[in-house]
Chain A
Amino acid sequence: MSSGKRLSVRNLSIVFGGVHAVEDVSFEVEPGEVFAIIGPNGAGKSTIFNLISRLYQPSAGSIQYGEQDLLELKAHQVVRTGIARTFQNIELFEQATVLQNLLVGRHSHMNFNLLSSLLFLPGMRARELKHRRKVEDIIDLLEIAQYRDARIADLPYGARKNVELARALCAEPSLLLLDEPASGLNNEETNDVSFWLEDIKHDLGVTMVMVEHDMSLVNQVADRVMAINDGRLLAIGTPDEIRENAEVQKAYLGVAA
């Protein structure tokens, strides 16, 4: 169900105080592609995500998704264009159950008002059940059924990562922004993530942009990689090209290998 929308970021910049966290970065993500962003710590990877999801206001540049200029939207309107995201440090609703978290993921597809909520008017029940079905599909896909009624605060780290991915999928996105999907996971869990990402790409047809440090995961799933350092673009290319790139090696190792 790829919507065929292209993400194009042009000459994007943001300045915090005197620091150019992102400076004149341009890239395009084709529909159906898995696009990875790599770079040393503090390179501005997460900042790019926060700019796309409109949590930060860029100082220059443009971001377009399909025909839509994202800079015209507020942060809570971005998901309606089909862009969902996860966070580097897991931002789940800690005191709520997994199921409730996932239902909030459906928020952009829900309509409700004050009165129907307080009185639980008949249409409400039918709509709740419809959304529940969608949520259950995602629960099946990511195999988190055993956690369905558990509170997030009681879950281990790896499970939280999955739940956050599931919550983003519940929004039925056409573009998924994954901020370090494998950070803090062991090898086995990282392998699971790479399988799921393949599934999400092929079964759901979701375009993905991910920030990741784990190069084995990047090599497995990414079609193209963008390397940045100090907020500036170093190179864009296939994983192999990026690995051989002298600029990238210098950024990581200090000297060209």
Chain B
Amino acid sequence: MQILFKTRYEDDIRFLAKTGEKVRVGLVIAFLLLAPAFLQNYYLAELGLLLVYAIAGIGLMILTGHTGQVSFGHAAFLGIGAYAHSVLLSHGVPFTLSVILTISLCGLVGMALGRSASKMHGFYLAVATLAFLILVETVLGEWSSVTGGHAGFAVPALKVLGVNLGQVWQQYYLDLSFTLLVVWAASNLFRTPLGRSMVAVRDSELSARSLGVNVEWIKIQAFGISAAITGLAGVLLAHHLTYLAPDVFGVLESLKLMLMIVVGGLGSILGAIFGAIFVSVLPVLLSFLKDVLPAAIGQQAGLEPLLFGLIIVGVIVFEPLGIHGRWLKLRYFFETFPYYRKASFVRQKSYLKTERMR
């Protein structure tokens, strides 16, 4: 059993206070850095795509998991990011500038959406963000002079600071560096007053407000940060897709992002990453499975959505905290061995909360 003796206040600010955490994170980063050396191009591209979805998941996690604001419209920010970046590139704007402009644009659109959504709760918010998504999808489809409309839009070649990054491993390293940057920035956020205020808004708007938190402004900022990060994922996604069509960024894509963070585990950055692994690895596993299963089952249409759905229902019923929650239990089991009991994680009964003053 490992006990962490804290001797300085910095111990609560530092990332990765425990040795075990350092080792695990170190191993993961080492694996990601060395992956191009032993992975075939196909798997490397899939891994790059996984990282892109991890970024998008972290974007949505900050808004939904940490600030408690549901958004079914996040594919719109993927779309705005992908399209704005591609259009800028095709007009000769260099990559770095284009990324900065695209992220700022997504951030501003996100804040505008947050401004109008900041007084809404629950279903109203979900419907409003869904309407926003449909609006964006329609604009992307109809504004054909700029976006190419439903015919699609070819993404210009990936070229950073004058260097062509046409190889799969080059693009992979670009994805990886942005992923590490986003994970670091998001982790920073939650050791500062701004991140804590977001969690406060999620858990009790009432007391957050009476402690001096400007709830509306925090929500607007959360929408802004979340949209900017998702927009960045859109930028990277554009280079994976190489050809953009408006219907890629529709309701299904939004649902995929939402499923990612729910299955991964709401309220933690690690959960978003677990979720990205889940949605990226499962289709690959299923394609293996299809070969093994008898043809009558394996060749059925709709097998993949069915299994996806079953797993999600299973997760929500049996492990509401998602993969991240399961991971915490596993870790706790080993750290406290042999003292772990089922009761260690049974939720305490929650006490009456004031609902009438929302």
Contacts and interface: CB of A to CB of B under 8 A. Distances in A.
Given A87-B354, A95-B203, A128-B13, A117 B195 contact: yes
A227 interface: no
Contacts of B225: 114, 118
A100 B156 CA distance: 46
Nearest to B211: A107
B351 A75 contact: no
Interface stretch (A36-44, A152-160, A208-216): A152-160
Interface residues of B, number: 41
A114 B185 contact: no
Contacts of B12: 99, 132
A249 to B, nearest CB: 30
Contact of A55 (B9, B196, B204, B206): B206
Contacts of A84: 210-211
B125 interface: no
B163 interface: no
Interface string A126-161: 001100110010000000000000000110010010
Contact of A91 (B196, B197, B353): B353
B9 A119 contact: no
Given A89-B352, A95-B267, A120-B188, A100 B196 contact: yes
Contact of B354 (A75, A91, A104, A132): A91
A231 B319 CA distance: 47
B197 A107 contact: yes
Interface in B153-189: 185, 188-189
B116 interface: no
Contacts, number: 129
A103 interface: yes
A90 B210 CA distance: 13
Interface in A80-138: 80, 84-85, 87-96, 99-100, 103-108, 110, 112, 114, 116-120, 124-125, 128-129, 132-133, 136
Contacts of A88: 354
A105 B9 CA distance: 18
Contacts of A99: 12
A89 B351 contact: yes
A50 B212 contact: no
B350 A79 contact: no
A168 to B, nearest CB: 8
Contacts of B221: 114
B52 interface: no
Contacts of B202: 93, 95
Contacts of A128: 13, 191-192
Interface string A168-208: 00010000000000000000000000000000000000000
Contact of B212 (A77, A103, A116): A77
Contacts of A112: 192-194
A117 B353 contact: no
* Interface SS majority for chain A: helix
Interface residues of A, number: 50
Interface string A27-39: 0000000000000
Contact of A120 (B191, B203, B214, B224): B191
A93 B199 contact: yes
Given A55-B357, A117-B189, A120-B188, A171 B211 contact: yes
B335 to A, nearest CB: 14
B208 interface: yes
A132 B12 CA distance: 10
Interface of A: 50, 53, 55, 75-80, 84-85, 87-96, 99-100, 103-108, 110, 112, 114, 116-120, 124-125, 128-129, 132-133, 136, 153-154, 157, 160, 167, 171
The 9 closest A-B pairs by CB, nearest first: A108-B212, A91-B207, A93-B203, A120-B188, A117-B192, A79-B212, A117-B194, A118-B185, A91-B204
Given A76-B209, A104-B208, A117-B194, 17 more contacts: A78-B210, A79-B212, A90-B353, A100-B196, A100-B199, A104-B200, A104-B211, A104-B213, A105-B211, A106-B193, A116-B192, A117-B193, A118-B188, A124-B192, A129-B9, A129-B10, A132-B9
10 contacts: A77-B212, A91-B206, A94-B350, A107-B211, A117-B189, A117-B195, A118-B185, A120-B191, A136-B9, A153-B350
